[in-house]
Amino acid sequence: MTVENITKVIYDAIDDKLGKDIAILNIGAVSSLCDYFVIATASSQRQVKAIADNVEDELTKLGIEARGKEGYDSQVWVLLDYGDVMVHIFNEENRDFYNLEKLWKDAPYVDVDNLA
What is the model's pLDDT at position 6?
97
The letter for the amino acid at 59 is: L
The letter for the amino acid at 15 is: D
pLDDT tens digit sequence for 64-99:
999 999 999 999 999 999 999 999 999 999 999 999
Checking if the pLDDT of 116 tops 80, the result is no
- As a three-state string, the secondary structure of the chain is CCHHHHHHHHHHHHHHCCCEEEEEEEHHHCCCCCCEEEEEEECCHHHHHHHHHHHHHHHHHCCCCCCEEECCCCCCEEEEECCCEEEEEEEHHHHHHHCHHHHCCCCCECCHHHCC
Integer Cα distance of 48 and 88 in angstroms: 10
Total count of domains within the chain = 1
Q: What is the CATH number of the domain that holds 90?
A: 3.30.460.10
Average pLDDT over residues 47-54: 97
Structural domain range at position 55: 3-108
Whether 66 maps to a domain, the answer reads yes
Q: How many CA atoms lie within 13 A of 110 on its CB side?
A: 23
What is the model's pLDDT at position 13?
98
Average model confidence (pLDDT) across the chain: 96
Whether 114 maps to a domain, the answer reads no
